[in-house]
C-alpha cells in the first residue's frame, strides 16, 4: 500500500501490514525468540505512530483529519477513504495499545505454532485500525467481518480447553449471521444512493419508514458484537476458551465495535429511527445490566465472571449512546475506553492464576494475599476500578451516563443504580474470595507472585486507568467537538 506517504495515519495503517509481510517471507518458524521480539517491535512502533496522530490532532474542529481518498472504481463510484475524528481517535489508540500489551502477555505462550499466533495478532491489529479510520460503510463492513478470521483461529487453535472448537464456531457464526443483515442494508443503500461514502450519506435524507428498516438491519450487526441480550450467548464461551491475550483483545476492543458502529452509523444516518427505538434500547440495556450482574454472582469460572460483568457494563454503554444527549454519549465513549482497559487487566489477572495453577474454578482459590501480595494489590486496584471507585476511569464514564439519563427519566437512573450496586456486590465478593481468608494448601503446594514482565504490564494498565480517571479532559477535549457536530447536523 502507500507506505511512503507522510500522512501519519497511513504509516499507522501500514506498519502491521509490513510486519506481516516480513514475518511471512523473511523469518523462519524456528526463530521463536526473534519472532516475539520482532512482533513486539512492530506493534510498539504502530502504537507510537498512533500517538503521533493524537499529538498532531487538532481539538478545535469537528472535521475529519488526516483525510486520504483513493478512487478504486469510477464506474461503480467506490472510493477507499480514511480519516479520524474525535470519536475514532481513541478507539484506534486503544487498539494499538492493547495489541502491543497482548504481545507481552503472550511472551511465554503459546508453546506451538508461534509464528502463526503472532501473525494473527498483527492481522487483527491491521483490521482494527482500518475499522476505526475508514469512512466508507462498505469498507467498514469488510474489515468489521475480517476480524472474525484471526479471532476464530486464536480461540480455536490456541484456546485453553477441549470446548475451544465449539466456542470458536459459536463466536464466528453468531457474529457473521448478525453482520449479514448489515450487509443487506449496505447493498440497499448503495442501490438507491449510488455511493457508500459516509460523508456523502450524512447529508442524504432517508424517509422515516426506510430509516426504521435500515436501523433494524444495522442493529443486528452491532447488537451481536456488543453483545446485547439476547445476542450474548457466544461471549462467555468465547472468553472461557480463548487464551489470555485473546480474552484481552476480545473484551478490550472487539466488544467496542458495536458501540462504535452505533455512534458512527446508526445515530447520524438514522436519527429519527434512533428516537423511535429508544424505549426498546433502554429496556434491553436495563435487562443486560441487571441480568448480567445477577448471572455473574452465580458463576464459578473466573473468566465467565468477568465475561458476564462485561455484558452488564456494555448495557451502561448503550444507555449512554441512546440517551441522545452530549453527557450520555461522551460518558459512553469514556466507559468503553475504560472498560477496554479494566476488563483487559482483569482477564490478565485471571490468566496469571491459570498459568500457575491450571484451573479457573473459584473454589480452589483463597487467601492469596499470604503468598502473592503484589498480585493481590493490583487485583484489588482493578476490582475497585471495575466498581467505578472515584478517581478511576469507570467512575467518569458512569457518572456522565447517569447525568445524561437524569435529563430523560429518574426511573432509568434508579434502575441503572441497581446495576452499580450489583457490580459492587459481585466484584467485592470475587476480590474477597480470591485474596483473603485461609490459604487452600490442600489444592496447591507451590506459589509464585507476579514476574517482572507481569508487573510492568499491570503497572502500565494501572497508570492509564488512573490517568483517564483523574484527567478525563485530556480525552474529552478531542471527543467533544465531534459529538457537538453530531448533534448540530442530526439532532
pLDDT tens digits, 308-364: 999 999 999 999 999 988 999 999 999 999 999 999 999 999 999 988 888 888 888
Q: How many residues are recorded in the chain?
A: 491
Judge contact between 106 and 117, C-beta under 8 A.
Answer: yes
Inform me whether the pLDDT recorded for 382 exceeds 80: yes
Residue 382 cell numbers, joined: 482493578
- The pLDDT confidence band at residue 482, using thresholds 50, 70 and 90, is confident
155-184 burial string, b = 16+ CB within 10 Å, else e? bbbbbbeeebeebbebbbebbeebbebbbb
At 490, is the pLDDT very low, low, confident or very high (cuts 50, 70, 90)?
A: low
pLDDT class for 204, splitting at 50, 70, 90?
confident
Q: What is the pLDDT of residue 491?
A: 59
Note the pLDDT of residue 144: 92
Give exposure, 395-430, as e/b (b: 16+ Cβ within 10 Å): bbbbbbbbbbbbebeeebbebbeebbebbbebbeeb
Q: What is the DSSP string of 193-237?
A: HS--BHHHHHT-PPPHHHHHHHHHHHHHHHHHHTTPTTS-THHHH
CB-based contact 141:182 (threshold 8 Å): yes
- Determine the Cα–Cα distance for residues 111 and 114; give it in Å rounded to an integer: 7
The set of cell numbers assigned to 480 is 467533544
Average pLDDT (121-135) is: 95
The mean pLDDT of 133-142, rounded to a whole number, is 93
As a whole number, the mean pLDDT across the chain is 90
Per the DSSP assignment, residues forming a β-bridge with 80 are 70
Average pLDDT for 222-249? 89
Rg for the chain (alpha carbons), in Å?
22
In angstroms, the CA 45 to CA 14 distance is: 11
Angle at 346 between CA 341 and CA 347, to 5 degrees: 100
Judge contact between 213 and 276, C-beta under 8 A: no
Average pLDDT (297-314) is 90
Worst-scoring range by mean pLDDT, 95-104, 195-204, 248-257, 333-342?
195-204
Q: Which three cell numbers stand for residue 139?
A: 469498507
Percent of the chain with pLDDT over 70: 98
Q: Is the pLDDT of residue 61 over 80?
A: no
The per-residue pLDDT for 2 is 40
The predicted model gives 72-86 an average pLDDT of 86
Cα angle value 119/123/125 (rounded, 5°): 115
Give residue-wise pLDDT tens across range 166-200.
Answer: 888 989 998 899 899 999 999 999 999 888 999 88
What is residue 467's predicted lDDT score, i.e. its pLDDT? 95
Please, which pLDDT band fits residue 8 given cuts at 50, 70 and 90? confident
- How confident is the model at residue 454, as a pLDDT? 93
d(CA 126, CA 402): 35
pLDDT of res. 217: 94
User: Cα–Cα distance between 167 and 133 in angstroms, integer?
Assistant: 30
Range with the poorest average pLDDT among 158-162, 235-239, 272-276, 363-367: 158-162
The whole-angstrom separation of Cα 222 and Cα 227 is 8
Q: Name the percent of the chain lying above pLDDT 90.
A: 60
* Strand duo 78-84 + 65-73: pairing: antiparallel
Predicted local distance difference test score (pLDDT) of residue 4? 44
Q: Structural domain boundaries of the chain?
A: 1-269, 277-491
Q: pLDDT tens digits, residue range 410-453?
A: 888 999 999 899 999 999 999 998 988 878 777 776 778 888 99
For residue 3, what pLDDT band results from cuts at 50, 70 and 90? very low
Given a cut of 50, is residue 1 above it in pLDDT?
no
User: Are 16 and 129 a contacting pair, CB within 8 Å?
Assistant: yes
pLDDT band for position 365 (cuts 50, 70, 90): confident
Contact (Cβ atoms closer than 8 angstroms) between residue 332 and residue 317: yes
pLDDT at 71: 87
Cis ω for the linkage preceding 110 (within 30 of 0): yes
The per-residue DSSP string of 355-401 comes to: HHHS--BGGG---GGGT-HHHHHHHHHHHHHHTT-TTSHHHHHHHHH
User: 263-290, pLDDT tens digit by residue?
Assistant: 999 999 999 999 999 999 999 999 999 9
Amino acid at each position: 500500500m502507500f507506505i511512503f506517504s507522510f500522512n501519519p495515519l497511513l504509516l499507522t495503517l501500514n506498519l502491521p501490514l509490513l510486519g506481516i509481510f516480513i514475518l511471512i517471507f523473511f523469518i523462519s518458524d524456528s526463530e521463536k525468540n526473534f519472532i516475539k521480539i520482532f512482533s513486539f517491535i512492530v506493534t510498539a512502533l504502530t502504537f507510537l505512530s498512533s500517538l503521533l496522530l493524537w499529538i498532531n490532532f487538532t481539538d478545535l474542529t469537528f472535521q475529519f483529519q488526516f483525510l486520504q481518498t483513493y478512487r478504486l472504481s469510477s464506474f461503480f463510484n467506490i472510493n477507499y477513504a480514511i480519516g479520524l475524528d474525535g470519536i475514532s481517535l481513541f478507539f484506534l489508540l486503544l487498539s494499538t495499545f492493547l495489541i502491543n500489551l497482548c504481545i507481552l502477555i503472550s511472551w511465554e505462550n503459546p508453546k506451538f505454532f508461534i509464528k502463526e499466533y503472532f501473525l494473527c495478532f498483527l492481522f487483527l491489529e491491521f483490521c482494527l485500525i482500518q475499522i476505526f479510520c475508514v469512512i466508507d460503510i462498505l469498507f467498514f463492513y469488510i474489515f468489521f467481518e475480517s476480524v472474525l478470521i484471526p479471532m476464530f483461529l486464536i480461540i480455536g487453535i490456541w484456546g485453553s480447553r477441549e470446548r475451544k472448537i465449539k466456542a470458536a464456531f459459536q463466536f464466528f457464526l453468531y457474529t457473521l449471521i448478525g453482520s449479514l443483515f448489515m450487509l443487506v442494508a449496505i447493498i440497499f443503500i448503495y442501490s438507491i444512493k449510488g455511493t457508500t461514502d459516509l460523508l456523502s450519506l450524512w447529508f442524504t435524507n432517508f424517509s422515516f419508514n426506510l430509516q426504521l428498516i435500515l436501523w433494524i438491519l444495522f442493529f443486528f450487526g452491532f447488537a451481536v458484537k456488543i453483545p446485547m441480550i439476547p445476542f450474548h450467548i457466544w461471549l462467555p464461551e468465547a472468553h472461557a476458551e480463548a487464551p489470555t491475550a485473546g480474552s484481552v483483545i476480545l473484551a478490550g476492543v472487539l466488544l467496542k465495535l458495536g458501540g462504535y458502529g452505533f455512534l458512527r452509523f446508526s445515530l447520524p444516518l438514522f436519527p429519527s429511527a434512533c428516537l423511535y427505538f429508544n424505549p426498546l434500547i433502554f429496556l434491553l440495556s436495563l435487562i443486560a445490566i441487571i441480568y448480567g450482574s445477577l448471572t455473574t454472582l452465580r458463576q464459578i469460572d473466573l473468566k465467565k465472571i468477568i465475561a458476564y460483568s462485561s455484558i452488564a457494563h456494555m448495557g451502561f454503554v448503550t444507555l449512554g449512546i441512546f440517551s441522545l444527549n452530549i453527557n450520555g454519549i461522551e460518558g459512553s465513549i469514556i466507559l468503553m475506553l475504560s472498560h477496554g482497559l479494566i476488563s483487559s487487566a482483569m482477564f490478565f489477572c485471571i490468566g496469571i492464576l491459570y498459568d500457575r495453577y491450571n484451573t479457573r474454578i473459584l473454589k480452589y482459590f483463597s487467601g492469596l494475599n499470604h503468598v502473592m501480595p503484589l498480585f493481590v494489590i493490583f487485583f484489588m486496584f482493578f476490582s475497585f476500578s471495575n466498581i467505578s471507585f472515584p478517581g478511576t476511569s469507570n467512575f467518569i464514564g458512569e457518572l456522565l451516563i447517569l447525568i445524561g439519563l437524569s435529563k430523560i427519566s429518574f426511573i432509568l437512573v434508579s434502575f441503572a443504580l441497581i446495576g452499580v450496586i450489583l457490580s459492587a456486590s459481585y466484584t467485592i465478593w470475587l476480590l474477597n474470595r480470591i485474596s483473603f481468608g485461609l490459604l487452600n494448601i490442600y489444592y496447591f503446594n507451590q506459589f509464585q507472585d507476579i514476574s517482572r514482565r507481569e508487573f510492568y504490564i499491570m503497572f502500565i494498565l494501572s497508570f492509564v486507568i488512573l490517568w483517564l480517571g483523574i484527567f478525563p479532559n485530556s480525552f474529552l477535549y478531542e471527543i467533544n467537538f465531534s459529538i457537538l457536530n453530531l448533534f448540530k447536523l442530526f439532532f
